[in-house]
Amino acid sequence: MSSSRHNTYLHTRVSILAARLLNHDDLAKLPQLDLERIGALYGLEPVLDDTLPASTRNHAVERALIRTLLSELSVLIRPMQGEGRELLLYWARKFELYNLKALIRGKLSAMPEQEISDNLYEVPDALALPHQALLRTESVLELLRRLEQSPYRAIARQARHVYEERHEPFALEATVDQQYYAGLVKRVREMQGTDLKEMQQVVGITLDQLNLLWVLRYRFSYGLSASETYYQLAPSVRKLHRGELLKLVNLSSLEKVISSLPPPLDSLLESAATTVEVERRMDTYSARETRKILLHSPSSVARAFAYLILREMDLRKLFAVVQGKVLGLNNDLQMYALGLGDEESVMGAARV
């Protein structure tokens, strides 16, 4: 099949899948539906057994939704070749990094092997870590050394160095995240032509949001120094590049960070008083900008990646609603979790 036919097929496949994305009205209706109806609409009936504990049901739902996303990824990469295919597969490795973090936490907490195993997600064999071998390791350091013989070697090597120096679980997990996104940027820069420019936009949107939230949390919630914070960031290929991030980490308050952001982020976040509000506004902005790429990009690879990012956002919102219903939360709280409600309604509901 020629490259042109590959692109045509992928453009068509993305357009078909895009019909599954949730619009504003779809999201607004979710809190009004009962679990039985949600299960029927989204194929979750097998994991919504109300005889199971809430935590077991929630974990089963999250597993099922991740499985759905990875199944759609496999459809999209089928006609792909070269750097585009490699980048999308690398993006999907983040779900196996959730498992790595679960393994690390389990080792640090001396959890039984079966309990750790029960908390792991199912991922395709091409992305999977050697779970059984890692479960049998004696320590976090041995686990990371084993990983240095896997496709996750760069992440594992840096994580091991950090843990040997500091023995801090937070620093270890932050390093895993930073190294993963640095690897994503590296793969974007290896692309060529239209794909390079368009993928820089898609990945840049995600990294701008992550870096801004990391700056705010590391500096003002966790109290890290400017240098410690900067070390944990993965500079974006869009707005928040190295120079911008170096400036932001040296500021002394959330308000000063927001006022020093490049446009349009400064006006978008003007008057946001908390990190939670920044995250909500950035979620909306990122979804809007990513949807533009899905609708208008000439790059079939960028459109496929934009679809996967938007689809993951939707499935996480669906999970938030299911989780809220399993826990018995009211509709106002569920709407707030979807980014549709306001804080005043939530506070009022909490007081009732």
Mean pLDDT for the stretch of residues 10-24:
95
- Structural element, H or E, at residue 119: none
Query: Is the bond preceding residue 264 a cis peptide, omega within 30 degrees?
Result: yes
Nearest CA-CA partner of 164 in 183, 145, 137: 145
Residue 292 has pLDDT above 80, yes or no: yes
Closest CA to 189 of 157, 158, 235: 235
Q: What is the CA radius of gyration of the chain?
A: 21
Q: Tens of pLDDT along 59-81?
A: 889 999 999 999 999 999 998 98
Over the stretch 242-284, which tens digit does the pLDDT of each residue have? Answer: 999 999 999 999 999 999 999 999 999 999 999 999 999 999 9
Residues near 86 by Cβ (< 8 Å), separated by ≥ 6?
A: 187
- DSSP H helical ranges for 111-253: 113-118, 131-135, 140-147, 153-166, 169-189, 193-216, 226-231, 242-249
Q: How far apart are CA 174 and CA 181, in angstroms?
A: 11
- pLDDT of residue 305 exceeding 80, the answer is yes
Q: Which amino acid is at 39?
A: G
- Hunting for tokens 């990122």 — which residue is that? 286
Alpha-carbon distance of 269 to 240, in angstroms, equals: 15
Please report which confidence band the pLDDT of residue 167 belongs to, taking 50, 70 and 90 as the band edges: confident
**In this structure, is the dihedral angle defined by the CA atoms of residues 334, 335, 338 and 343, taken in order, positive or negative?**
negative
Structure tokens belonging to residue 337? 């979790």
Give the residue among 286, 290, 291 at the shortest CA–CA distance from 268.
Answer: 286
Query: CB of 331 within 8 A of CB of 55?
Result: no
| DSSP 8-state assignment for residue 81 | -
DSSP code at position 306: H
* Cα–Cα dist 180/176, whole Å: 6
Integer Cα distance of 123 and 18 in angstroms: 23
Q: Domain boundaries in the chain?
A: 1-79+304-343, 80-190, 193-298
Each residue's pLDDT tens digit, 198-212:
999 999 999 999 999
- Tokens in use for 291? 């949807």
CA distance 345 to 179: 39
Domain at 80-190, CATH homologous superfamily: V-type ATP synthase subunit C domain (1.20.1690.10)
CB contact set of 122 (below 8 Å; sequence gap of 6+): 63, 66, 67
Query: Which pLDDT does position 1 carry in this prediction?
Result: 40
